[in-house]
Amino acid sequence: DTEVTQTPKHLVMGMTNKKSLKCEQHMGHRAMYWYKQKAKKPPELMFVYSYEKLSINESVPSRFSPECPNSSLLNLHLHALQPEDSALYLCASSQADRGPGELFFGEGSRLTVL
């Protein structure tokens, strides 16, 4: 069983909707990440939070808005998305003091934008 929990597992939304993806980790990690993955492509880094502060934002469109309420929770707010944003959104965490790279992923939220 994964110790990084993502909800919802599946989400279908229209281009005018506002929705949120949620992620919670139970490992005491201090770094959390959002990745986007399309079919047969590698995961692409979107955001990094380290010690609850946004430390990396890979020039993601503003229709994606991350939020880190505390060290174990990470949300991704979605608004006015496009059909090309349909993908698997993966949350991950790592022990920040060991440096990034050894990532533990949630099962992902599969998003379809109509």
Residues near other proteins (CB under 8 A): 2, 33, 40-43, 45, 48, 56, 88, 90, 99-108, 110
Residue 90 CB, nearest approach to other proteins (Å): 6
d(CA 22, CA 64): 13
C-alpha of 76 from chain center: 6
**Of the two residues 22 and 104, which places its CB atom closer to other proteins in the complex?**
104
Residue 19 CB, nearest approach to other proteins (Å): 20
d(CA 15, CA 2): 31
Residue 96 CB, nearest approach to other proteins (Å): 12
The long-range contacts involving 58-66, CB below 8 angstroms and separated by at least 24 positions, are: 64/34, 66/34
**Of the two residues 81 and 92, which places its CB atom closer to other proteins in the complex?**
92
- Is residue 59 helix, strand or coil? coil
**Of the two residues 60 and 80, which places its CB atom closer to other proteins in the complex?**
60
Per the listing, tokens 């939304």 go with 13
Residue 16 CB, nearest approach to other proteins (Å): 28
